[in-house]
A and B are shown apart, each in its own frame.
Chain A
Amino acid sequence: MAAEREALQLIADEFVKTLPGRMIQVRDDWEELNRIAAPENSELPPLLHDFYHQVHNMTGSSGTFGFTQLSQIGRQILNILEPALKAQTPLTREMIQTVGPILAEMEVEARAPVQIEGWL
């Protein structure tokens, strides 16, 4: 199974290389969500679905590749946003203020994600 493990690690390494680009996209979308999530906007912004799926995919992939900390940070964001998505209600200021620092933390972790020892 050594060859399979090596191949899987290569996929993980490639994943890491995609992180900076993905985080830029996530950040851009978040800034846009911040801009349009004004209190008078009573609808769920469609962009939130894209943002959620981007974070969801990064969370899932990073977890699968053993980047547990990155995955756990992403999961925190998903947990905050899920109620709004389920209920189709607008983002609240509280949600935005809570997600902001966590997203910043995710950006830091994504620059040099730590892979847990013993992955594979």
Chain B
Amino acid sequence: MADGTLTKILYVEDEPDIQEVARMALELVGGYTVTICSSGEEAIAKAPEFDPDLLLLDVMMPGMDGPTTLGELRKIPSLADKPAVFMTAKVQPHEVAEYKELGAIDVIPKPFDPMNLSANIQEIWSNKGGG
């Protein structure tokens, strides 16, 4: 992320169908390098070595949910300041505000449009001043 370009995305999502669609959307359509984790625990294990530019997290997951996962990832020094985006169907203004209070720079509504997901993420990245 030294040059401010978004290249590597760590995506945490438990649902295999959504994983597959998102991988295609982010890698083939967006050209990003993506590591997908099926749980918060897996993300915590893989994130330090992958060293993502952006954390993309599903909110509702069995076990460790997205907000809890983000909290744990924030405890890893190299990830403490990485921009994070939540993906959720719950996008009422007060809900979005809550996610931002937890440290997300934005929220992507579910269901997402696979063909526009990468553009959406790039826009969020650009608006935060990173690209």
Interface residues of A (CB under 8 A from B): 1, 4-5, 7-8, 11, 15, 18, 49-50, 53, 56-57, 59-61, 63-65, 71, 75, 120
Contact = CB atoms under 8 A, between A and B. Distances in A.
B115 A60 contact: no
B29 A63 contact: no
A53 B58 CA distance: 13
Contacts of B111: 60, 63-64, 71
Contact of A7 (B17, B24, B60, B89): B24
Contacts, number: 55
Contact of B115 (A4, A18, A50): A4
Say whether chain B's binding surface is mostly helix, strand, loop, or mixed. loop
B18 interface: yes
Nearest to B15: A57
Interface in B31-54: none
Nearest to B20: A11
Contact of B110 (A11, A50, A60): A60
Given A8-B114, A75-B89, A120-B114, A61 B24 contact: no
Minimum-distance CB pairs A-B, first 5: A63-B111, A64-B111, A61-B17, A57-B15, A53-B62
